[in-house]
Amino acid sequence: MGKFSQTERDGHLFIVTIDRPEVLNALHPPGNAELSDVFDEFAADPDLWVAIITGAGRAFSAGNDLKYQAGGGDRSGQPSSGFAGITARYDLNKPVIAAVNGVAMGGGFEIALACDIIVAAENAVFALPEVRVGLAALAGGVHRLPRTIGTKQALGMILTGRRVSAAEGQQLGFVNEVVPEGQALEGARRWAAQILEASPMSVRASKQAVLQGLEHAGVEAASSGRYPAVAEMVGSEDFIEGPLAFAEKRTPNWKGR
């Protein structure tokens, strides 16, 4: 257990909990550095295939700890991997699910946007309020949100800092599923279980191809791109096991290699 976070291993699933409930899980450089180490562990461990990130107490994360910043707290330890060690982690091919159990503001929303799937409790609230405090959502928010819901809808949130409910977030397209209050983690676990039924090599290849493919202007260029995780998939044991299990009418025994 860390000072600012908790982790749990459940088979191939890794659950990360931001643990600063006294400040609605707002994050400061020491917390971000600790979470960066946590996600380094997830990325490096071949037995961990899917991660869930959530928050302790009644919030997911209120974002940047402005009181810490205003009070002159030491910011020298801010990791290059960004908020929660994930908003600027561009080389992670393993899927990460956000279980948003409450407020996800500013950097907290940017953490969720950096995840691949967002499961939100019906009481969750999302916003990028940086413009209201003289800042900007530069931990990926101003770039990920337009790519997720379109420029006009994103600017409607970014330029006003307005709050969006979980239900509206699903309508806009950045929330995958809305679940009853208190069930965000349970809902995220269901999504993780479905992902874990698939080959982890195929999952990683698919995630990398999708995200890196978006860097290309057209489908032809994206389809012609070189994606290392795809090559790893083709050279893996799972590439043989999948078709073999299908032919033998049995559940595949994925190795993740």
% of the chain with per-residue pLDDT over 70: 98
Q: What angle do CA 223, 228, 231 make, to 5 degrees?
A: 85
Mean pLDDT, rounded, for 48-66: 96
Q: Is 220 a catalytic residue?
A: no
The kind and range of the H/E element at 249 are: none
**Residue 171 pLDDT greater than 90, yes or no:** yes
Alpha-helical (H) ranges within 101-183 are 107-114, 141-149, 151-158, 166-172
Token couple for 243: 């078709």
> Which of the four pLDDT bands, split at 50, 70 and 90, describes residue 73?
low
Mean pLDDT, rounded, for 35-44: 98
How big is the chain, counted in residues? 257
> Which of the four pLDDT bands, split at 50, 70 and 90, describes residue 77?
confident
**Residue 55 pLDDT greater than 80, yes or no:** yes
Could you list the beta-strand ranges (E) of the chain: 5-10, 13-18, 50-55, 59-61, 96-100, 103-105, 117-121, 125-127, 164-165, 177-179
Q: Is 110 a catalytic residue?
A: yes
Q: Which of 34, 41, 110, 197 is catalytic?
A: 110
Q: How many CB atoms lie within 10 A of CB 224?
A: 10
Q: Which of 8, 41, 122, 130 is catalytic?
A: 130
Across the chain, mean pLDDT equals: 95
Alpha-helical (H) ranges within 162-248 are 166-172, 184-196, 200-213, 219-223, 228-234, 238-247
% of the chain with per-residue pLDDT over 90: 93
pLDDT for 66:
79
The Cα–Cα gap between 45 and 119 comes to 25
Instruction: Give tens-digit pLDDT for 79-118.
Output: 999 999 999 999 999 999 999 999 999 999 999 999 999 9
The Cα–Cα gap between 5 and 51 comes to 14
**Cβ pair 158, 151 in contact under 8 A:** no
Instruction: Give tens-digit pLDDT for 141-161.
Output: 999 999 999 999 999 999 999
The Cα–Cα gap between 66 and 256 comes to 41
Q: How many CB atoms lie within 10 A of CB 159?
A: 10
> Which of the four pLDDT bands, split at 50, 70 and 90, describes residue 67?
confident
**Cβ pair 237, 223 in contact under 8 A:** no
**Residue 68 pLDDT greater than 90, yes or no:** no
Tell whether the torsion through CA atoms of 70, 73, 76 and 79 is positive or negative: negative
Instruction: Give tens-digit pLDDT for 194-234.
Output: 999 999 999 999 999 999 999 998 999 999 999 999 999 99
